[in-house]
């Protein structure tokens, strides 16, 4: 028998309170008792996807906002139970256990009667209250108002589809390590576990049902990595058709490498001995994650991993130009909300411009390091044009030696309602991304 629901709801409220205070859900979930964590994470992700609705309902149920701990518990319960068809538990069970959670926590005990009254009223007036919040954009779309308005400007034909996709769970997508096995060899291992899978991208597999990765065959042996299908485009885009000057190996820089997924894919895609690869990250702890990733995949020692700021080449560059640079730039992560539903509630509108300035600074610092005829692949996991097409348009306007090679541009999230309209999409379901492949013209 699993842990009681009231105990899980207490932890859900604690994580929601942390997100509201400006912290990522990841460390908050890592602090949860391992015995509770899987169930709590599933509930937290669902609550975050519908938090706008939960907060909208609470505003109609209470004249004043309760203290933070009580408000997190109340809004979390409303987010989980507002739609009976989506609720993980029967509404009365959810209400009963939320009240029990309030009673058993010293931080919320004084508000237990208030929470009970609000939730019981919600059960009685559910249809009317939901209809009221249907007309409130934040509650209806479960994103901050500024985010909704930016998407409407950036993608006037697709903004609703993007928002709906954000509120669905992403599939588990693997990238097969072709240095260890192949898609054809790995598929029977999944079939033996009764796990259906669809081939996507070049060496990707989209699983029909998610499973803990440690339970999948070949994880410890490094036969696969978890990587979204859109992210798997980076290595082939950068490397395919590119030859080193004068023979030998390609000199490649992964400028913002952690946690190492694209670093590893560059090595896997190129094959043994084809790359002289430098992987940078400004944080030494994150560099250790790159090393761990490469080690598990059998690629240890094939890249020089350095803790350094890519925007300050004078501190780490040896003066020899690169054939290719991958700039997976820091961004709002607005394209990966399906996998990280806390992102929408953590970001502020001012973050977009601050990150765009950082992206422009990185582009300006790294472009001189590319040899004539070489390439720089700029990518972000963002659907905002300020971090994608507008960023590259500004770069091209001030760098006449740069030209754009065929590349996807903005890839919008595919998944959830309406995904069958793109059933022939070779990438299957995928996150939102932007890619621009730049080539430096020869003199």
Active site residue ranges: 381
Yes or no: say if 12 and 48 are a contact pair by the CB < 8 Å rule.
no
3-class DSSP state of 333: coil
The full DSSP string for 381-417 is S---GGGTHHHHHHHHHH-TTEEEEEEEEEEPPB-ST
Q: How far apart are CA 133 and CA 137, in angstroms?
A: 8
The full DSSP string for 278-327 is EEEES-HHHHHHHHHHHHHTT-TTSEEEEE--TT-GGGT--SPPEEEEEE
Going by C-beta distance under 8 Å and a sequence separation of 6 or more, which residues neighbour residue 122?
A: 57, 61, 78, 81, 95, 129
Q: How far apart are CA 420 and CA 227, in angstroms?
A: 22
The full DSSP string for 150-212 is HHHHH-TTTHHHHHHHHTSPPP-EEEE-TTT--HHHHHHHHHHTT--EEEETTTEEEESS---
3-class DSSP state of 375: strand
């Amino acid at each position: 028998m699993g842990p009681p629901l009231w105990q899980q709801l207490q932890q859900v409220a604690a994580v929601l309170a942390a997100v509201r205070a400006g912290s990522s859900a990841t460390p908050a979930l890592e602090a949860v008792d391992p015995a509770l964590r899987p169930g709590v994470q599933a509930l937290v992700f669902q609550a975050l996807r519908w938090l706008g609705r939960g907060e909208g309902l609470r505003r109609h149920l209470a004249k004043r906002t309760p203290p933070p701990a009580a408000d997190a518990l109340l809004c979390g319960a409303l987010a989980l139970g507002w739609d009976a068809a989506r609720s993980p538990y029967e509404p009365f069970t959810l209400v009963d256990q939320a009240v029990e959670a309030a009673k058993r926590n010293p931080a919320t005990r004084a508000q237990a009667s208030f929470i009970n009254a609000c939730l019981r009223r919600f059960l009685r007036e559910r249809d009317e209250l939901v209809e009221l919040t249907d007309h409130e954009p934040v509650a209806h779309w479960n994103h901050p108002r500024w985010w909704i308005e930016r998407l409407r400007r950036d993608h006037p034909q697709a903004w609703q589809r993007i928002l709906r996709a954000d509120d669905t769970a992403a599939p588990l997508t693997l990238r097969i390590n072709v240095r260890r096995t192949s898609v054809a060899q790995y598929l029977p291992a999944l079939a033996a576990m009764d796990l259906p899978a669809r081939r996507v991208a070049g060496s990707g597999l989209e699983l029909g049902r998610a499973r803990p990765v440690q339970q999948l065959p070949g994880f410890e042996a490094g036969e696969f990595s978890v990587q979204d299908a859109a992210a798997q485009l980076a290595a082939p885009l950068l490397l395919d058709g590119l030859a080193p000057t004068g023979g030998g190996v390609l000199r490649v820089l992964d400028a913002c490498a952690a946690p190492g997924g694209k670093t590893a894919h560059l090595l896997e895609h190129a094959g043994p001995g084809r790359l002289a690869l430098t992987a940078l990250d400004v944080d030494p702890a994150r560099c250790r994650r790159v090393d761990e990733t490469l080690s598990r995949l059998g690629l240890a020692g094939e890249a020089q991993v350095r803790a350094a700021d890519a925007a300050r080449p004078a501190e780490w560059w040896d003066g020899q130009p690169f054939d290719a640079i991958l700039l997976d730039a820091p961004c709002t992560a607005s394209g990966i909300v399906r996998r990280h539903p806390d992102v929408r509630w953590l970001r502020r509108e001012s973050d977009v411009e601050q990150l765009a300035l950082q992206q422009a600074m990185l582009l300006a610092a790294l472009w001189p390091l590319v040899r004539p005829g070489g390439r720089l692949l700029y990518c972000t996991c963002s659907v905002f044009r300020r971090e994608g097409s507008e960023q590259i348009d500004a770069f091209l306007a001030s760098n006449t030696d740069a030209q754009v090679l065929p590349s996807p541009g903005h890839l919008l999230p595919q998944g959830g309602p309406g995904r069958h309209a793109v059933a022939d999409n070779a990438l299957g379901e995928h996150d939102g991304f932007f890619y621009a492949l730049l080539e430096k013209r020869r003199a």
